[in-house]
Amino acid sequence: MNISALGKAVSIQSLGKSYGSTRALDGVSLNIAAGEFCTLLGASGSGKTTLLKTIAGFETYETGQILVDGVDVGPMPVSKRNIGMVFQNYALFPHMSVRRNVAFGLEMRRLAAKEIENRVDEVLALVDLTAYAERLPRQLSGGQQQRVALARALVIRPDILLMDEPLGALDKNLRQSIQLELKRLHAAVGATVVYVTHDQEEALFLSDRIALMDKGRIVQASTPRGLYEKPANRFVASFLGECNFIPSDGQEIAIRPEKLRVGRDLPGCDKKLEGHVTAVNFIGRGFRVMLDHRGAELAAEVDASDEIAALRVGTPVAFGFRSTDAMDIASI
Amino acid sequence: MARPAKAGRGFPVWLGLAPFGLVLVVLFAVPVLSLLKLAFGEGGFTLVHFHRMIDVPVYRSVLGTTLGIAGLVTVLAVLASYPLAYVMATVGPRARSLLMLLVLLPFWTSALVRTTAWIILLQSNGVVNALLMGSGLTTTPTAFIYNLSGVLIGMTHVLMPFIVLPLYAAFSNLELSTVQAAESLGAGPITVFRRIILPLTAPGVVAGGMIVFMNAIGFYLTPALMGGPGQTMIAQMIASNINTELNWPFAAALATVLLVATVTMLALFQRFFGLERLIEGGGGKAGEPFTVTSRGRSPGGWAAIVAACLVGAFLIAPIIIVFPMSLGSSPFLAFPPDSYSLTWYENFFGTTKWVAALTRSLQIAGLVVAISVVLGTLAALGVARMRPRWRSTVETIFILPMIVPVIILAVGLYYLLAPTGLVGSIWGVTLGHVVLATPYVFITVRAALKSFDGNLEFAALGLGASWATMFRRVMLPSIAPGIAAGAVFAFITSFDDVIIALFLTNIRSRTLPKLMYEGVAHEIDPTIIAASCLIILVTVLVLGGNLLLTKRKTT
Ligand SMILES: Nc1ncnc2c1ncn2[C@@H]1O[C@H](COP(=O)(O)OP(=O)(O)OP(=O)(O)O)[C@@H](O)[C@H]1O
Ligand SMILES: [Mg+2]
């Protein structure tokens, strides 16, 4: 199966939408390349679902436009947009078997019966559900239903595949195995994917690009590494992973906990400071040391060593970092 | 003999079940069985009456007409319910409550009042014809009543709630995302309706349709008053065989056929849906319910809105028309009236026969409420405490009088009570109403008991209270709203009934609806409209009073 030729570029231009007095989208602009896996990440209520629904065409918007492959899709009804949609609750048709569910979109496209059957078989094999084709959705586990929903969206070879927290209802182990599966599928079919989640690890693992949303705006859109290592501002830095803000000469230095070193000799550190230990906790791969530095609470994640294990709460300790590891952020 | 510890102390099951059980045996089973016996021959077994039903073309066609009309009414009710249920599911809460009221109002309005209002609206010099001819759409009056259309209008009007309510429940159990998934896969509005909405709402429609059909085959008043000779249904045939031909065995055979048809429908319903569906609503749901998003409605959706407005107007028209009409001053029924006065109300309260009938109706309803509340509450308590094994059977038996066509009960009781002389007093009709009304009390109290926390009962008993004290201090206060609702149902059942009164009262004991019926069947005197308004008012007062009481209780 090869959809990469069919995956289309999406360009969202200063989109605005309100629900009554709530500004759900406040001038969102985002360009998604053909075949890209783009994740919308953000806290609850930040507008992720709303953005996804406007791309799908389930909701209208007041300002801006959405171009798919350069064409404004605003006036196009949902049924003409050729999108694949995976809902958080899967939204399988409860009265149809797995096979009928998957075939539905192809029947809408009036394909020949033979071709429908072939394509359904092919996609069911892809998501490893061939044995379950004749079952009803309620006779499947959550993970299996999830894969049916995915197959149903993929089989129509959509221009864009939209997924709204598709793994939200699954337990952690299942989530991880389906994440792997998703990555494999995306590599295999190469569709343009817009994926919503509020799980950072999931976003980092899956995405080519992450758009971080807050209060109806996109705060920063970048590759996972770009977002983690070069956050545009304080909000991004502390939303994605943990971040220390060390006061220094009226300014603040932003640095991740794992970049801080603690102890007497600080190899490679060109910045050295002093603080007090407030807590030391073992976290498996190492220790998590909490420090007080001039009233600022800092966290450091360091490898296990006897020296660290011997640290006592309330004692002074030296810490430091490489100045190249400090992140350059706008102080808003 | 060892009894289970739980039943050992407190309220004995038999005390709950016996009183209503006895009433059902004497006043329901005996009359119905005597009819059956009559139908199959008093001397020896014979099927001659049933053969006659098939052999004589008139009777054959009545059976056909009954099934045909019931089928048509079911189809019409389904068609009219879809747009209404769709709109109810997709508008705001205010509009939804308003629509709900529109649907339930005909249900709560006495059959006689409704029918009277339809006749006023639809007769050849009625309101609708006046409007049609006044606007130049027609030049001669259109015959809406005393033919098939009259029967269909009258019956669909009152039976629609049985379909709208389960259909609305089905629409609100539908998830928005299911519909959106279909749209995203390329389905347009028509396909979404045909392939998603229709199959997912079908079970509710089928359940409602069966109830409508079951009810429709036993209808008496509407076809008698709004139909012509060609629309004679089986219930009318039973009545005319008793009243004019005095052919009891044949009437009994017709009643047997009606009974078998109804019980068959009931059995089918129970088989497919379970009887609880008659009593309780649907379950919970997970996702966002079906609604209209900012994209707005499709043209089909707008068409449904228009259709729903028309259906709404259809539901409410006869009920609102009677009020201004009752305030007119001319003896000719014109709408709107030329001038307003209270003439017809004065006439009502100034005529002995009207006042006597109203007083008697209130008296009977009072007695019925008192007796059926006791019987129904006891029965509910008994059923709640009995072993689960026989519970559903007993429950079914206890609600049977609601399901069996009233005409069968009326005729059976008439046969049983005529020799006793009870028919001339208010007691004959009171006993009949008790049989009809007690199932309502039983159902509402049973529902209240189901939501009553059994641990409270054990806690009170554990603290040393006797069962009687526990009942008075703990259980009664919490099931009181259920009892009150049951009392309201019982009152309205009795106060609105015509059919029992038709057979079990005479000129000395007639009730208000019976008196009105005699009038409507001949010529509509505006006093009848005033009486209709009074009936609606009493009903609304009783319902509103109950609503206020329960509101106050909960807040
Ligand atoms: N149908 C609606 N009517 C009114 N307000 C809405 C509606 N849908 C969303 N909103 C509001 O719009 C804002 C954005 O909601 P949205 O559902 O897009 O958030 P989200 O980022 O998807 O959140 P979550 O992670 O909780 O799913 C919220 O403030 C929400 O309350
Ligand atoms: Mg959301």
Do A206 and A272 lie in one domain? The reply is: no
pLDDT score of A332 more than 60: no
For the CA atoms of A100, A104, A109, A110, what is the dihedral angle to 10 degrees?
Answer: 40
| Distance to chain A for B169, nearest Cα, Å | 17
Do A272 and A160 lie in one domain? The reply is: no
CA angle, A211 as apex, A205 and A216 as ends, to 5°? 135
- CB contact (8 A) between residue B178 and residue A91: yes
The rounded distance, in Å, linking the Cα atoms of B320 and B314 is 11
Do A206 and A261 lie in one domain? The reply is: no
Which of B184, B294, B295 lies at the smallest CB-CB distance from A85?
B184
Could you say which of A208, A235, A262 is where a domain stops?
A: A235
The rounded distance, in Å, linking the Cα atoms of B541 and A103 is 56
Domain that holds residue A181: 4-235
The rounded distance, in Å, linking the Cα atoms of B433 and B402 is 11
Do A207 and A262 lie in one domain? The reply is: no
Q: How confident is the model at residue B197 (pLDDT cuts 50, 70, 90)?
A: very high
Q: Among 3.30.360.10, 3.30.930.10, 1.10.3720.10, 3.40.50.300, name the CATH number for the domain at B1-41+342-509.
A: 1.10.3720.10
Position B532 scores a pLDDT of 86
| Tokens (6 digits) for B219 | 């209808």
Probe residue for ligand 1, chosen from A21, A28, A39, A46 as the CB with the greatest number of ligand atoms within 8 Å = A46
* pTM (2 d.p.): 0.82
For residue B481, give every residue at least 6 positions away whose Cβ sits within 8 Å of its Cβ, in sequence order, or none.
Answer: B448, B549, B550, B553
The rounded distance, in Å, linking the Cα atoms of B60 and B254 is 11
| Distance to chain B for A299, nearest Cα, Å | 40
pLDDT, chain B, mean: 87
The rounded distance, in Å, linking the Cα atoms of A329 and A254 is 7
Do A208 and A189 lie in one domain? The reply is: yes
Residues shown for chain A: 332
For residues B147 and A62, is the Cβ–Cβ distance under 8 A? Answer: no
Q: Tens digit of pLDDT for each residue in B337-388?
A: 778 888 889 989 998 999 999 999 999 999 999 999 999 999 999 998 888 8
Residue A291 dihedral angles phi and psi, to the nearest 5°: -125, 150
**Ligand 1 atom nearest B294 alpha carbon:** 1
**Domains B1-41+342-509 and B56-326 agree in fold:** yes
Q: Which CATH superfamily is domain B56-326 in?
A: MetI-like (1.10.3720.10)
pLDDT score of B276 more than 70: no
Which positions in chain A have a beta carbon within 8 angstroms of at least one beta carbon in chain B?
17, 53, 56-60, 77-85, 87-89, 91-95, 104-105, 108-109, 152-153, 156, 162
| Distance to chain B for A168, nearest Cα, Å | 13
Do A206 and A74 lie in one domain? The reply is: yes
A241 ligand 1 Cβ < 6 A: no
For residues B217 and B405, is the Cβ–Cβ distance under 8 A? Answer: yes
Position B4 scores a pLDDT of 39
CATH number of the domain to which A92 belongs = 3.40.50.300
Name the DSSP class of B281.
-
Position A276 scores a pLDDT of 92
A168 ligand 1 Cβ < 6 A: no
3-state secondary structure chain A: CCCCCCCCCEEEEEEEEEECCEEEEEEEEEEECCCCEEEEEECCCCCHHHHHHHHHCCCCCCEEEEEECCEECCCCCHHHCCEEEECCCCCCCCCCCHHHHHHHHHHHCCCCHHHHHHHHHHHHHHCCCHHHCCCCHHHCCHHHHHHHHHHHHHCCCCCEEEEECCCCCCCHHHHHHHHHHHHHHHHHHCCEEEEEECCHHHHHHHCCEEEEEECCEEEEEECHHHHHHCCCEHHHHHHCCCCEEEEECCEEEEECHHHCEECCCCCCCCEEEEEEEEEEEECCCCEEEEEEECCEEEEEEECCCHHHHCCCCCCEEEEEECHHHCECCECC
Our count of domains for chain A comes to: 2
The count of other CB atoms within 10 Å of the CB of residue A173 is 9
A240: in domain: no
The count of other CB atoms within 10 Å of the CB of residue B120 is 24
Could you say which of A207, A235, A263 is where a domain stops?
A: A235
pLDDT, chain A, mean: 90
A241: in domain: no
A332: in domain: no
In angstroms, what CA-CA distances link B220 with B111, B151, B234, B235, B408? 10, 10, 8, 5, 11
- Which residues in chain B are closer than 8 Å to A87, comparing Cβ atoms? 177, 180-181
Do A54 and A190 lie in one domain? The reply is: yes
Position B451 scores a pLDDT of 81
- CB contact (8 A) between residue B187 and residue A92: no
- Domain extent listing, chain B: 1-41+342-509, 56-326
- CB contact (8 A) between residue A109 and residue B181: no
| Distance to chain B for A180, nearest Cα, Å | 25
Do A65 and A155 lie in one domain? The reply is: yes
- CB contact (8 A) between residue B177 and residue A87: yes
A260: in domain: yes
A280: in domain: yes
A331: in domain: no
The rounded distance, in Å, linking the Cα atoms of B476 and A15 is 60
Could you say which of A206, A235, A264 is where a domain stops?
A: A235
Position B6 scores a pLDDT of 45
Taking alpha carbons only, the member of B450, B410, B429, B416 closest to residue B371 is B429
Query: For a pLDDT cut of 90, what percent of chain A falls above it?
Result: 60
A320 ligand 1 Cβ < 6 A: no
Position B286 scores a pLDDT of 58
Which of B178, B186, B293 lies at the smallest CB-CB distance from A108?
B186
**Ligand 1 atom nearest A51 alpha carbon:** 18
Pairing of strands A160-164, A316-321: unpaired
Do A309 and A196 lie in one domain? The reply is: no
- CB contact (8 A) between residue B186 and residue A79: yes
CATH number of the domain to which A286 belongs = 2.40.50.100
A45 ligand 1 Cβ < 6 A: yes
Give the closest residue (by CA) to ligand 1 atom 22.
A49
A105: in domain: yes
A43 ligand 1 Cβ < 6 A: no
For residues A243 and A251, is the Cβ–Cβ distance under 8 A? Answer: no
Do A165 and A298 lie in one domain? The reply is: no
**Ligand 1 atom nearest A53 alpha carbon:** 18
Name the DSSP class of B295.
T
Position B487 scores a pLDDT of 92
A259: in domain: yes
Q: Tens digit of pLDDT for each residue in B484-534?
A: 989 988 998 999 899 999 999 988 888 999 998 888 887 778 888 888 888
Do A219 and A251 lie in one domain? The reply is: no
Do A180 and A316 lie in one domain? The reply is: no
